[in-house]
Structure formats: C-alpha cells, structure tokens
Amino acid sequence: MNMPVAAEQLLLPDRRKAATGRFADWKVAAVSILGFWAIYAVTVIARAFLGSDPLTVLENKLVTFAAGILITGLLYFAIASLAPGSSIRRKGLVAGFGAVIAAGALSTVLILTDGNMRSSKEEFRFQAREGFVVIAKGEQVRIERGAADPVVVTMPKLKELGQHDQFRVAADATVVWLFFFAAWSAVYLALVSQGQALDLQRRAAAAENAAQVAQVRALRYQVNPHFLFNTLNSLSSLVMSGRPEEAESMILKLSTFFRSSLSLDPTADVSLGEEIELQRLYLEIEKVRFPRRLKVEIDVPDRLAGARLPALILQPIVENAIKYGLSNTRDKVSLRITAEEPLPGRLRIEISNFGGTALKSPRQSGSLEGTKVGLANVSERLNARFGNDAKIEHGPLEGGGYKAALTLPITRHD
C-alpha cells in the first residue's frame, strides 16, 4: 500500500465526522432558504408593478424579507440542533413545531412594524351594490354618494386596534405564514433525506468497490506463487539433469518475466498486446526446458492489441497447456494463442495445445483436477472485472489436445 492511500484512509474518519456534523448541511439550508424567499420576492415584485406605486409596496415589504429570512434561518438552527444522526421523523416533528412558532414570530414582527409603514399612493376604485363609488387610497376610504357630500373614513393602524382584534389579525397572518414555513421545512427535509440516501449509496458503492479490489488483488496474487512453483520445478529438473547453461538461461528469462509482471498494478488492466508479450516471456522460459518439443503459434491482429483485460489473465491457461500438453508425450506439441472479434465489441481469445501422438486431454488422462485451480482463478477474475459480460469455455479437442476460450467485451483506454 502506498503512502498517499494510507494517508487517505487515516484521514477518512475525520472526513466522515466533518461530513456528518451538526450543521454540515448549512449550504443546502442556505440555498433552500434564499431560494424560497427569492420566489416570494418575485411574486411581490410582479404584484407591485401591476399597481401605480410599486416602490412604496416594495419598501414596505423589505421588513418582511429581512425578518422572514432571519426567522427561517433560526428555524433551520432549531432543526439542525438535534444530535447528528437523528431520524427524519424526529426532525420533521421539530420542523412542524418550529414552523408554527416561526409563523407566529413573523406575524408579530409585521404587526409591531405596521405603524412605520409608508402609505401607498395606489388608488382602488369600485362601484358598490348600493350605487356608491368607493375609492381606497392608503388608510383612507372615500365614499361618493351622488349629489351628497362624500364620506371620508380613515382606517386605524393595527396598533390602534384592541388587543383582541390584534390577536385575531395575528392569528390569521400566522395561518398564512405557517404554510410558507411548513413548505420550506418539507423541501429542506426532502433535500436532507435525498442527501443521506445518496451518501448511503456512495458508501455502499465504495464498500463494494473495495471488496472487489480486494478480491481482484487476492486472485491476481494467486498467479505468481503458482507460476513460480512450476518454474522452480523446471529449474530443478534442468540442474538435476546436468544442464546448467539452460538453467542459467531460464533464470535470466525468469527475472525478466518477474520484473515485468510484478511491476503491474494488480487491480489494473493491461492491453492485449502487453499480455501477449508477458506470455511470450513465459514461453521463452518453457522453451529452455523443452527446446525441441514446444512450438508456439501466436496470431493476434494489430487492431485488437489495444483491448484491455486483467493482467496475467492468460497465465494459468498457458501454464496448464504446457504442463498437461507436454507431460504425457515426447512428441512435438504446438501451443496456439489466437484472438478475434467474432461480434462487434466482443473479444475472443483461444489457447489450445495439440500435436503429440500420446497426447490426451486432461479429462482423458485423469488430470482434470489439476486444471481446476487455474481455470477457476481465471473465471473468478473475469467475473470480478466484467461480471456476466465475460465467460470462459474449455474442453478437449477431437483427436487430442485441449482448448480454453475467453470471451469478454472489448474495452480500450479513452
């Protein structure tokens, strides 16, 4: 594990704590508060410019805007003051009680500041059913009665009303503003709930990805010990049979192979061209062991060389082809690796061995059990990387020999 990854994992608890703090969602709350009051402002402005004195109307509404934003912020503070991790249901109860208090507070502020409001110059004129003409302008109502003198009535300020009447006006305003604060609370809690759901999805995806990476690493690390065991057996055979120069050549080729393979990221993909070159290195090692009996044929079109696949995915199959293809015969054996695109976007890689007169398939020679580990490794790695989009098929060939075929989607670096 490299240091940047380790450092990131050490800092992860602090990041999670910061992300789930008491007021961690203040940005969401601020955007929703400003958004709600912006919508209200648009409706007020539109209404104001329908009349003849929009500036006075807008000036009088400034108190509503300022007090409303402040009270909504306090409502958020009350909701967020719950312990982190509280359920949405509990927050909803606090939001409900808080909305009632917030509506009452805003209504009280508007009543207390009513006396400081400027009178609008906007005039409303309408015909009463009794035939009178009623003209309302500011606090004054003028009633024109034909030939009689008009009657002018001045409406009292809210502070001039009795306490009972003031309470009734405040109650009516509270009911109106209650719906506003309740609507904001519902939207805010919906955003919080959605954020929590997305966070759970991200964490689940991260956990699944971590598990998959761990699985891929484990499967990938199974390859090297298996390969090293077989190669050391080959080296031992060369030394015991008095072939030191060939053993030295195999050691040099073995070091080159491990230097190339161990430098790869176990969780990363390589190109088909790179994978084939790794297998060439391995087959060069085996040619030292079987210089006259092993023939290698590789047919990979250049247009498929850039396709991506897990590193050393072919290694266990090639090893099995060498181990079981040459163990039961002294004749020449051919090992063939081919690649093709049978369908658009699909890659098929075949590895087969054939040619020895005494050659039998693993099933026929009773050595099928020996192939299971390698083929199971390949199958599990394909499933971890591609899921159901990839598969491996294997079986004996007519006339002797064995073939394994991998089918997977073609993916390339962008």
Note the pLDDT tens digit of each residue in 100-112.
999 999 998 988 8
The larger pLDDT score, comparing residue 174 to residue 256, is at 174
User: Residue 380: what pLDDT?
Assistant: 83
How many residues in the chain? 414
Q: Closest by alpha carbon to 382, among 215, 232, 142?
A: 215
- In sequence order, which residues have a C-beta less than 8 Å from that of residue 368 and are 6 or more positions away? 362
**Is the CB of residue 282 less than 8 Å from the CB of residue 190?**
no
Whether residue 2 is predicted with pLDDT greater than 70 in this model: the reply is no
Identify the band that residue 7 occupies on the pLDDT scale cut at 50, 70 and 90: very low
Domain with CATH 3.30.565.10 in the chain: 243-409
Residues 379, 392: Cα–Cα separation, whole Å:
6
pLDDT digits (tens, 9 = 90+) for 196-232: 888 888 877 776 666 566 555 555 555 556 567 767 8
| Beta pairing partners, 339 | 349
Higher pLDDT, 334 or 286: 334
pLDDT higher than 60, residue 16? no
Q: Label residue 14 by pLDDT band (50, 70, 90).
A: very low
Q: Which residues of 56-87 are buried (b: 16+ CB within 10 A; e: fewer)?
A: bbbebbebbeebbbebbeebbebbbeeeeeee
pLDDT value of position 85 = 64
Give the range among 114-118, 128-132, 172-176, 209-213 with minimum mean pLDDT. 209-213
pLDDT for 299 beyond 90: yes
If pLDDT is split at 50, 70 and 90, which confidence band does 245 have? Answer: confident
Amino acid at 269: D
Say what the pLDDT of residue 84 is: 60
Confidence of residue 20 (pLDDT cuts 50, 70, 90): low
Residue 376: what pLDDT? 83
Q: Distance between CA atoms of 405 and 394, rounded to whole angstroms?
A: 6
Q: In CATH, which superfamily holds the domain spanning 243-409?
A: Histidine kinase-like ATPase, C-terminal domain (3.30.565.10)
Is residue 76 within a helix (H) or strand (E), and if so which, with residue range? Answer: helix 54-80
Q: Supply 226's token pair.
A: 């298996």
For the chain, what percent of residues have pLDDT higher than 70?
Answer: 83
Choice between 245 and 99, residue whose per-residue pLDDT is larger:
99
Between 24 and 22, where is the model more confident? 24
Say how far apart CA 138 and CA 154 lie, in whole Å. Answer: 9
* Higher-scoring residue by pLDDT: 257, 223: 257
Q: pLDDT band at residue 249, thresholds of 50, 70 and 90?
A: confident
Q: For residues 232 and 33, what is the distance between their CA atoms, to the nearest angstrom?
A: 71
Average pLDDT value over all residues in the chain:
80
Confidence check: pLDDT of 19 > 80: no
Distance of CA 105 to the CA centre of its chain: 42
Average pLDDT, integer, range 286-290: 79
- Assess contact for 123 and 137: CB atoms under 8 A: yes
Query: Residue 349: beta bridge partners?
Result: 339, 406
